[in-house]
Structure 1
């Protein structure tokens, strides 16, 4: 068993090494512009990956979601019973018979899917950025151990490293995405209303 785990660990390390080499080759041209720009591009790609993969749902999650909605609606119907005590008892029976277990399975499955599809890409790329742009590597790239420097704290300048830049960039990208999404959702109804008015003003175009 120990030999198998050692073999498995070596294979995992080899895969990580190959992935790291591929990412280095992919992003190294961006370092000519600057590590800050390279990290921002990495964050944009990471955000897009997380958004894309987060849409994925396992068949089990879809089934559990349907089951949960079914039993939850059944419980709500039971609570609408004219006899409150009877409705409460029926709801309790639903909880004990199915709803509690289905909710636990559904919550756990959704948690695991979200962890693997949304957060794993983020933390994987964060780990890469932390390693690729560690102080020693930054010193070789740009001649200093930090990416940005601003302000002062106790008389010393605050130095921003790769991890800090990654988090700030991710916050900017995600905030920008939600702002654009909000603006688009506000403009879309306006366009639809404008189109309807055009159709009413020009009935011959139908």
Structure 2
């Protein structure tokens, strides 16, 4: 069994190395832009990809669980709307314990797994690539320095910003810009069509 797992692991490592080499090949023409801009481009691409991928991909089970949860939630709301409050509360409690709690937790867990696949995994994979592709030795070889940015504090201390920190900062920056642009776009659409 260990031999099979070793063989499988070596194949996985080979595929990861091939993909890393492919990414290096694709990014080679961007080398003159510098590591900071390349990482910013990778972050932007990753965020656009995750937004598009998460809007397009949901599992069949997730859609079924959402439908099931919505059904039991509506039944519970109808039970609470009954004129006799105590009877409605008792019916809602029965619905909660019999079906709604299980439907909610199944729906929540499936949504969580869906988010891991569509949102978090691509970001973590890209962060791992950036960490490997822009490590200090490679930065020194390609750009003549071991860091992305260098800041001097008023006390004379030098702060070096590495690839992974710049990836995280770029990720936050691109998300902030995304939120601002989206809100401004919504305001523009609302001004253009005031009746909606």
TM-score (ref. length: structure 1): 0.89
What pairs up with 1:114-125 in 2 under 5 angstroms? 114-125=115-126
Q: Secondary structure at the match of 2:193?
A: helix
How far is the alpha carbon of 1:153 from its aligned partner? Answer: 7.8
Q: How many residues are aligned here?
A: 195
Match of 1:31 in 2: 31
> Does residue 58 of structure 2 align to residue 57 of structure 1?
yes
1:133 and 1:153 map into 2 onto residues whose CA distance is 28
How far is the alpha carbon of 1:85 from its aligned partner? Answer: 2.0
TM-score (ref. length: structure 2): 0.94
1:144 and 1:153 map into 2 onto residues whose CA distance is 22
Task: Please give the per-residue CA displacement for 1:96-125, whole angstroms capped at 9, x wherever unaligned.
Answer: 211111111101100000000111111100
Tell me whether 78-87 or 177-186 shows the greater mean CA deviation: 78-87
How far is the alpha carbon of 1:190 from its aligned partner? Answer: 1.9
Match of 1:199 in 2: none
Match of 1:126 in 2: 127
What pairs up with 1:177-192 in 2 under 5 angstroms? 177-192=178-193
2:154 and 2:114 map into 1 onto residues whose CA distance is 42
- The ranges of structure 1 where at least 4 consecutive aligned residues each deviate by more than 6 angstroms after the TM superposition are none
Structure 2 gaps of 5+ residues are none
Structure 1 gaps of 5+ residues are 195-206
Match of 1:67 in 2: 68
